[in-house]
Amino acid sequence: MAELKTIEVPVKGMDCAECTQHVQHAIAGLAGVESVNVLLASEKAVIRLDPARVEMPAIRKAVSDAGYSVPENQGAETESAQRTTSDFTNRILALFAVVFGFVLFVVVVGEWLGLFEIATQYIPFWLGAGLVVVAGFPIFRNVIRNALHRQITSHMLMSLGVLAALAVGQWATAMVVVCFMYVGEYVEAFTTERARRAVKNLTALAPQTARVERNDQEMELPIAEVRVGDTVIVRPGDKIPVDGQVIEGQATVNQSAITGESMPVEVGAGANVFAATIAQLGSLRIRTTHIGADTTFGHVIKLVEEAEANRADVQRFADKFTTYYLPIVAGIAAITFLISRDPLATAAVLVVACSCSIALATPIAMLASVGAAAQRGLLIKGGKYLEALARADVVLLDKTGTLTLGKPQITDVVSLNGIGETELLTLAASAERDSEHPLAQAIRTAARERNLVLVTPREFQSVPGMGIRAQVNNKAIVIGNRRLIPGATDSEHAHRLDAQGKTLLFVAVQDELVGVLAASDTLRPEVPEAIKQLRALGVKKIELLTGDNERTASALARQLGVGFRANLLPQDKIAIVREYQKQKHTVVMVGDGVNDAPALAQANVGIAMGAAGSDIALEAAHVALMRDDWLLIPDVFRIAQRTMRVVKMNLAFTGVYNVVGITLAAFGILPPILAAAAQSLPDLGILANSSRLLRQK
């Protein structure tokens, strides 16, 4: 078997979750397709396939046979992102007014004034029926295609309603039903397009060209032609087109496209910058490290687009419900005819049933929330995690780099067994030269402040949760906590520093303890307020998980008013998450996304702080905060709870609406014309309700 390949295929014409199911079934039926995920928001199918067994023409034909299309030109479309939320709301109200006015016109002019009866009298039935068939042919053709694929759609029921109206000679009524089928299609398309807006606005921020310096010449190139290692020139007001490192210049950069933070930051030589951010003041020369889809912004877009695939349980329920809903409606219509013998009442039951509104109730709200949150620097990977956040009752917290600034400082250097402080710090900083741990950076900073000269270590080895081992000047150096160096805490210096709540690092040379380094970190100033807000949002249990000692953990936990567990290894954190999950709790783990990545993945929802520029954090977490701001965490909980309230309102509204509509139609109170008009209105109600999520505060 050939190596499997994943491709993305754009699909046009999808208006609701029902459409995505049709496309998914069509592509999944092709030999050589292992899996397929059809995404409504980004209008594409992500397909994992065997390229030796299935080719693009076969995929295009399968999509076409299902009633949709694959554009020949698959280039990315860019759209203006300048439409405001107030514009958006006005468009909803305007569309509602147009549809309502049209319904009123049809009812008053057509039904109550008897114009339909007049038209029926003066136009032969065969001509009227022909007009109905011609007008509705595109819809009827898709209905037949779906029927051949054993797929029941709402248009199939409405088409049966059209046949019922024709069967009793009411071709004018049938024509109005066809008209409202088109109105319904437009409303569904409009509804879905509005939900896509937040995602498309995000995509539109991606830069398209770059000013590149090659062979001592400056040229403007499409992003696709920029290479890693190229020097990119950015002038004031330019959008930075790549991820890279500043090699020359200084500028004030607006990073809101990545972090959601409107306050600009100052960058200079050595600083890392991100694609889609804007240099407001100053010029930069940047060495390119990532381009296009490989940039942080590219990862954000990809993850937001694919968030739809992580469906909430309530969405899966809605999808399954629509599968059974249409046959149930058909059964109710059959019972109506058997009891009343009224074909028009039967037709009205078939016509009024609106399955698309049920299918749209959840994804529209989820798409709106995920897209709007991404523009604020909150990357949520799907409705599954929004639903879990809304019911979460346990929050577990990492310490270093999460609760604290992650920039500890060495406060004490204690030398033992005859070694001097300078030599101790030189050996420790040299051994930690290749480590990225915050404590290693603190040691190097302390050495740099004393102008110490470091050497390159050999045989460097990181021991997760404990420390490091390395060879420095042919000496075996071990730096770590008490688990890595047993008996290290016996000294009175260790007891004194430990009593102060400081983090201790023990240094051993050739298996002999030669010193103790003490470090302390700074709590993020917004953490106490954020924890207070989490409790107000219904989180019952908040617990600190740290590899630090009991005394350090206890001091911080008391300050925050939370529980704690100390001296933990990464696997211990995973075990604690599982422990709570076995007790039927919904667990949220908050960390930095690096050394606690396994615990983040194990939690029902893993939230990574400061994920901008960190591929590990973006991949490990279910929710990524693109900037280090603890107040974003209660914001995410609020967004989730608000989203689920909107989803429940949508489902309740569309459920009641359909029950009332079907009941009125079954009793002959709602004629087919009004039934056709009524079935197009729930989508607008769902859109209006869900659009509130685009205005997250």
Using DSSP, state whether 391 is helix, strand or coil. helix
How many beta carbons lie within 10 A of that of residue 86, not counting itself?
9
Q: How far apart are the C-alpha atoms of 505 and 440, rounded to whole Å? A: 10
The Cα–Cα gap between 636 and 642 comes to: 10
3-class secondary structure, 470: strand
Q: Which residue has the tokens 């693009």?
A: 56
Task: Give every CB contact of residue 554 below 8 A, 6+ residues apart in sequence.
Answer: 501, 564, 566
What would the two tokens of residue 499 be? Answer: 């009593």
Name the 3-class secondary structure at 416: coil
Catalytic-residue membership of 398: yes
Cβ partners under 8 Å of residue 256, min gap 6: 262, 277, 377
Q: Which helix (H) or strand (E) holds 139?
A: helix 125-148
Instruction: Yes or no: say if 238 and 278 are a contact pair by the CB < 8 Å rule.
Output: yes
94, 137 in Cβ contact below 8 A? no
Q: Any idea which residue has 């079954």 for tokens?
A: 666
- Burial status of residue 67 (CB atoms within 10 A of its CB: 0-12, 13-18, 19 or more): buried
Q: Which helix (H) or strand (E) holds 65?
A: helix 56-65
Residue with tokens 């050589």: 32
Q: How far apart are CA 368 and CA 92, in angstroms?
A: 15
Query: At a CB cut-off of 8 Å and minimum separation 6, what does 114 contact?
Result: none
Catalytic residue, from 243, 319, 398, 628: name it. 398
Strands of 134-229, DSSP E = 209-214, 217-222
Backbone angles phi, psi at 45, to 5 degrees: -115, 130
Q: How far apart are CA 16 and CA 686, in angstroms?
A: 12
Token reading at 153: 């759609």
d(CA 624, CA 368): 17
Q: For residue 311, what are the contacts with CB-CB under 8 A and spacing of at least 6?
A: 319, 363, 382, 383, 384
Question: For residues 518 and 498, is the Cβ–Cβ distance under 8 A?
Answer: no
Catalytic annotation, residues: 398
